[in-house]
Structure 1
Amino acid sequence: MFFILTGIIPVPTTPLLLTPTEARVVATLMEKARTVPDSYPLSMVALLSGCNQKTSREPTMNLAEAEVAEALGNLKDLALVRESSGSRVTRFEHNFQRGVGVPEQSAVILGLLMLRGPQTAGELRLNTERWYKFADISSVEGFLDEMLERSAEKGGPLVVKLPRSAGEREQRWAHLLCGPVDANAMGTKAPEGGNSTRLEARIEVLEEEVAQLRATVQKLCSELGLN
């Protein structure tokens, strides 16, 4: 990948193309950096668990450690992931925003699209609340439009607007980090039910609270020499 200098953020000059596994790995790192900072950077065990969790994921995956390790190697070559030093256990952190050359808000939107699949601007604003608080839906739409109109010199568009499905008032958006999408096929997919979405969000909050508590206990045990 080649870069041109634009201030402090390098901008890719060729389109970024990830595999679904690589997208899941880097997006999981992006999520956990925001939602469970006490346990971040992530160990391989924590990263694998995050990639395979059954809530807030579309599609759900059942990745093996070898698949995640291979994805990490490729992502490191793309400067999207790096290993963290200073720990007995190898840990990993993302470098997505700088590696792709986008502002924080765009990185947050892309991370959610990689984790949860196509979403409307309203859904993105709701789902990104724990990552970044957008002022309103128009703010989300502004960054989506910016990524849609991204010039070829910067690597081309990063998102696509899908056709409106029957019964839907808003169009959904999908990312292009894994290559072109079948807009017609994805546009006809039925949206998730509201009750199910709220339940999954609640489960996610509880899972992250447990992860935070676990990280705190591990840190205390380490400080007391109980490991």
Structure 2
Amino acid sequence: MQLDPIQLRVLGSLIEKEITTPENYPLSLNALVNACNQRSSRDPVLELTEEDVRQALHALEDLALATPVRDARVPKYEHRIRTVLNLRRDETAILCLLMLRGPQTPGELRGRADRLFTFDDLAAVNSTLERLASRPPSDETTPENTGPLTVILPRQPGSREARYAHLLGGPPDLSATGPDRSPGQTEAPGSSTSRVAQLEAEVATLSAALQSLQSRVDRLESHIEAPVSGDDSSVR
């Protein structure tokens, strides 16, 4: 699953509005455009057109992540991510925040999640993040699994907490503002810190993918070896 930034913004906005304003959900196209372009609780702030959002909805419908509701005079839309990815409510809230605001620390996620889900403490947030990061890959018996959905990013210089990012759009973007930089302040693209952080994030993402592949290989080997061992025992 490789969603682009507009698709992620549309999906995240649908999730947020379902939880925070259920009386206005599902959303019309106009309401969804406004939700995507709002200036609060969004990073970065976007200026999407109706056509941008409509095209993103078509892509999400193809993936069964969104669906139109035809029981109104104006077409409305709802998300299906909890069903498709078999998510709990706390997991849905975390993914929503990461889609709408980019990489964040567990402390930031807890402070911003109140309207979506109430976490008792940081341990609860960390438990949810770890559960999302360790999801097994799909196979014949568990097609709803998709492998890891979050990844921990390298801790930035001067920061106390590491940030987490979602993996619904491929490797995370390290250009997002981190806790140790003020908004608008960026590192030089060629700086050693920037290059090292980029490489570390890529290694973290590849490691998560490798673990998923290894888990799948182990299961396949167990299925292959089972009948062989049975044949050996019958010969003896």
Cα 1:187–1:40, aligned 2, differ >3 Å: closer, same or farther?
A: closer
**Structure 1 residue 114 and structure 2 residue 94: aligned?**
no
Residue 126 of structure 2 is matched in structure 1 by 141
Moved more, 107-116 or 54-63: 54-63
Structure 1 CA distance for aligned equivalents of residues 54 and 42 of structure 2: 20
Q: C-alpha deviations, 1:116-144, integer Å up to 9, x for none?
A: 11111111111111111112111110110
Following superposition, the deviation at residue 190 of structure 1 comes to 4.0
Which of the two has higher C-alpha Rg? Answer: 2
Residue 152 of structure 2 is matched in structure 1 by 161
Structure 2 CA distance for aligned equivalents of residues 51 and 192 of structure 1: 24
Structure 2 CA distance for aligned equivalents of residues 174 and 133 of structure 1: 20
Question: For 1:13-52, what aligned pairs fall within 5 Å after superposition?
Answer: 16-52=1-37
Residue 78 of structure 2 is matched in structure 1 by 93
1:164–1:187 CA contact under 8 A, matched in 2: no
Following superposition, the deviation at residue 189 of structure 1 comes to 6.6
SS at match of 1:152: coil
Q: What are structure 1's unaligned runs of at least 5 residues?
A: 1-15, 194-227
Following superposition, the deviation at residue 152 of structure 1 comes to 2.8
Following superposition, the deviation at residue 166 of structure 1 comes to 2.1
Residue 170 of structure 2 is matched in structure 1 by 179
TM-score by length of 1: 0.73
TM-score by length of 2: 0.70
2:102–2:176 CA contact under 8 A, matched in 1: no
Cα 1:187–1:61, aligned 2, differ >3 Å: closer, same or farther?
A: closer
SS at match of 1:174: strand
AA aligned opposite 1:155: T
1:150–1:156 CA contact under 8 A, matched in 2: yes
Identity among equivalent positions (%) equals 42
**Structure 1 residue 67 and structure 2 residue 49: aligned?**
no
Following superposition, the deviation at residue 49 of structure 1 comes to 0.6
Q: C-alpha deviations, 1:147-205, integer Å up to 9, x for none?
A: 1122233322111111112221111111111001255x558674568xxxxxxxxxxxx
AA aligned opposite 2:149: L
Q: C-alpha deviations, 1:4-40, integer Å up to 9, x for none?
A: xxxxxxxxxxxx2211111100100101111111111
**Structure 1 residue 170 and structure 2 residue 161: aligned?**
yes
Structure 2 CA distance for aligned equivalents of residues 186 and 90 of structure 1: 34
Q: C-alpha deviations, 1:192-219, integer Å up to 9, x for none?
A: 68xxxxxxxxxxxxxxxxxxxxxxxxxx
AA aligned opposite 2:83: R
1:162–1:187 CA contact under 8 A, matched in 2: no
Q: Which has the higher contact order (CA 8 A, sep 6+)?
A: 1
